[in-house]
Structure formats: structure tokens, C-alpha cells
Structure 1
Amino acid sequence: MNTHYQAIEFKWIPVNWVRPGLYQYTSIDDCTRYRVLRIYKRRTAANTLDFLDCVIEEMPFPIQRIQTDRGREFFAEKVQKKMMQHGIKFRPNKPGSPHLNGKVERSQKTDKSEFYATVDIDSEDIQDKLAEWQHYYNWMRPHSALKGKTPMERYFELCEETPFSDEVQKQYNPSNERIQHANYKMDLEIAKLK
């Protein structure tokens, strides 16, 4: 069976600045475009851990790799250790490389034009409305990048080829992972010591 080990990638960044003091964390699967969304008042390691729990719970398949920008909240030791505990490879982008998170950036542009343009972001139920939008985006909204399919339709096409958690865990080699530093140049030097 041909499995999609590399295709089921994962990317997330919290840069969809909605308004001062309100941030949208976004995860998007590289292959299906399935997303998990949450709004937080701050970009912190604690919120990142909470979001990571949501993503692990809600993604319909095991996460193999997380790619992020170089926000400090992603480099917290607790966050990286949690990824390691779940057999998730952490692959932050090089500085100044927003194009490497193009799918997330594009999906957040869609959020701005199709979701935030239609809701009161100050309403107390904004998190519930965002959950409804997430459901619509994943289950009902056709995507041109998926040839008119929804993320869930694409997932169902690939589910026979998608590895189960135990297969992903077998492929994960913890000796290849280490706690990474947010400072890119320093992290390169640390990597040389390994």
C-alpha cells in the first residue's frame, strides 16, 4: 500500500491579527487543507499548548510534522516536549520566509474576507461562531486547490492511504529531534554540536 507519510503535513501560525489583543491560531493540513481554528487574547506558550491539544483532538488523522514561523510561543520547551511526546516533528521556517506558510496565509485571507467581514468580533460568542466557520470550511466549502472538493472529501479520498497513529509513531525517531532555539543563528550552532 502506498502511504502518504509526507503528504499529511501540518502548518500553523497565529498571525491572523484580528484586532489588538485578539489572535487567531490556525492549523492547516498540507494535503487536505483541513483546518482547526481558535481565538486567543495573547500569543503565549500556554495558549499554544491549549491549541496543540485542540489540534491533536480534532484533526482526523495523526500529525506527523508541524511547521511554524519563528514566533517565540512555538519554541517554549513545554510546547516542543509535547510535540515530542506525540511523535510530532517540529520544523520551524527560516526567518523571513512567510512564503513557506503560504497555505496558512491564504486560508487566513479567506477568513478575513468570508468570516470576519460578516461577524461582530467583539461578540461574546465569537469562539462559537469561529467553530461554525471551521465546520463549514472543512465540510461544505469547495476549494479550488482541491478541484472543487471540500477538505473532508479530500480526506476521505486519501484515508485508505493515510497511516494510523501507531504507524506514525514507529516512523518517529526521537533521537533525531531536539529542543530548538528561537534564535535561528544560535539554533544552527547548537545543531552542529549534536
Structure 2
Amino acid sequence: PGDRVQMDTCKIGPGLYQYTSVDDCTRYRVLRLYSRRTAASTLDFIDCVIEEMPFPIQRFQTDRGREFFAVKVQERLKEYGIKFRPNKPASPHLNGKVERSQKTDKAEFYATVDLSVDDLKELLAEWQHYYNWERSHSAHNGKTPMERYFELAEQTPYSDAVHANYQPSEEHMQEQNYKLELELRKLKRCL
């Protein structure tokens, strides 16, 4: 748990975006609603994820959305000792767990609620709790994400071990433009 956490955003309605994080191993999720997909929203969401995940996060994996590539976002991840690993362009299958979970949200949650209600954020928090603690998952033979986590808790590294393995010198600022990122990597190898 925590080795790789997939993160994504999706538009729910006009001026309403859901940020989603899914632990690759347990399927434990954190969800939040924001009015915009911005670096500020991403920074707030990262803090929520770190606070709510029941284990330390080693790596965030995202698509190449602009909201994830802001210098402020990448610097915050470095401060927290979390690796940032964006996927190659046009590769949604590499973030398949978070993509699938957003599809589940649209079918099982948003199809049943009025997006204009004042307590939508509270309803989403209840849905998140249900998903993590009560909803069974076929990927885990009918277990919930928390049941899966409890099975693996003894194998899950503590924060101090995770931070000891983080090598800040090996982390560089990622470019949203993938072609530019590849060219920069080539240049660095030549130095």
C-alpha cells in the first residue's frame, strides 16, 4: 500500500470537478470536489490525500494534466518526499484504476444525486467512506479496500522507512510537454 497512488480529475458538471486518488494496491480512495482544475486545487487535494490515506504515499502517478505540472505542486511533493511519475501522453490505461473508479462514481453516485444540492461535498464524503469501508471489490475477492489494507498492514512500510528511501537528488522537475521532457533527459545524459 502507498507504493503507487493514481491521481486524476474529471468534470462532473459546469464548474464542478472531482479530484480522485486511488491506491494501486488496496483501491483505497480519497475524493474531493473543486470549482476548477488548478495548481491550488491540486495542492489542497494532495494535503487531503496525505492526511486521509491510512499509509504513507511513496509515489503519485498522473496523466499529463496541466494542474499536476505546476512548479508549486512538484516542489510540494518533493517537500513531502513523494515521487511524481506522470504517464506518457494518450495512455489512460496506465491510470486505469483511477479512470475505472471515476466511471463507478458517475454510475453509482452521481446518477443518484442532484448536483445542485448544498451538501454535495458531504454526500461525496459519505460515498467515499462507503467505498473504502463497505463496498466489496471483485479485484480483492469481495473484500473492501480497508480489509485489503488490514491484510497487508504488517508489510506496509512506516513513514520513516519511506522517507529514508526517497532520494531528492534523483527527482527532477517534470515537463508537461512529453517531447521536451525526452529531449531534456537526452541532454542530461550527455553531460
- Whether TM-score is above 0.5 comes out as yes
Task: Give TM-score scaled by structure 2 length.
Answer: 0.96
1:94-173 aligned at under 5 Å gives the runs: 94-173=88-167
User: Given residue 127 of structure 2, which amino acid in structure 1 is its aligned partner?
Assistant: W
Query: Which of 70, 78, 82 does residue 76 from structure 1 map onto?
Result: 70
Distance (Å, rounded) in 2 between the aligned partners of 1:142 and 1:57: 24
Is 1:55 aligned to 2:38, yes or no? no
Structure 2 equivalent of residue 65 of structure 1:
59
Q: 1:45 aligns with which of 36, 39, 58?
A: 39
Amino acid corresponding to residue 8 of structure 1 in structure 2: D
Distance in 2 of aligned mates of 1:23 and 1:190: 32
Q: 1:34 aligns with which of 28, 35, 44?
A: 28
CA RMSD in angstroms comes to 1.0
Match of 1:191 in 2: 185
Q: CA offset at residue 136 of structure 1?
A: 0.3
The residue type paired with residue 162 of structure 1 is: T
Q: CA deviation at 1:23?
A: 0.6
More helix by share: 2
Extract structure 1 runs of 4+ deviating beyond 4 A.
Answer: none
Task: Give 1:14's aligned residue.
Answer: 9
**Deviation of residue 193 (structure 1)?**
3.2
Give the alignment partner of residue 18 of structure 2, picking from 13, 20, 24: 24
TM-score (norm 1): 0.94
TM-aligned CA deviation for residue 191 of structure 1? 2.1
User: For 1:10 and 1:96, how far apart are their aligned partners in 2?
Assistant: 19
Gaps of 5+ in 1: none
SS at match of 2:154: coil
Counterpart amino acid of residue 172 in structure 1: Y
- Residue by residue, what CA displacement relative to the aligned partner does 1:144-179 show, whole Å, maximum 9, x if unpaired? 111100000000000000000000011110111011
Shift of 1:104: 0.5
Structure 1 position 46, deviation (Å): 0.2
3-state DSSP of counterpart to 1:159: helix
Unaligned regions of 5+ residues in structure 2, if any? none
Report how many aligned residue pairs link the two structures: 188
Q: Give 3-state SS (helix, strand or coil) of 1:122's partner.
A: coil
- Deviation per CA, 1:100-136: give whole Å up to 9, x if none: 0110111111101110011111111111000000000
2 CA distance for matches of 1:175 and 1:67? 19
How far did residue 57 of structure 1 move? 0.4
Q: How far apart are the structure 2 equivalents of 1:65 and 1:94?
A: 16
Amino-acid identity (%): 70
1:192 Cα deviation from its structure 2 partner: 2.6
